[in-house]
Amino acid sequence: MTVSVKTLDATTFEVMVHGRTPTTHIVTVTQDYAGKLTAGRATTEQLVSRSFDFLLEREPNTSILRSFDLPVIGRYFPEYEGVIRGMF
């Protein structure tokens, strides 16, 4: 399964998951939150892509919300922020 991320504006991204059943997702993330997770070591687009890698290790793409704010992941997976910080 592959993930492609397209920047729509400074805080909004379209994520396409290419797999058996392709899905499209709209993700929003503030620059402050992106900076908190990446400490400036990655672009917000890279953060969104890695976040989908994280999600896809835990659930099928068809179970991922179609539209969400990136911090929502932490509500479902409390380990999210720590794992993501470790990726950068």
The SS3 of residue 4 is: strand
Band the pLDDT of 17: cuts 50, 70, 90. Answer: very high
Q: What DSSP element (H or E) covers 54? A: helix 44-56
The per-residue pLDDT for 1 is 86
Taking only the tens place, the pLDDT of each residue in 28-43 is: 999 999 999 999 999 9
Does the pTM exceed 0.85? Answer: yes
Taking only the tens place, the pLDDT of each residue in 57-72 is: 999 999 999 999 999 9
The per-residue pLDDT for 18 is 96
For residue 79, with 0-12 CB atoms within 10 Å meaning exposed, 13-18 middle and 19 or more buried, which class applies?
A: exposed
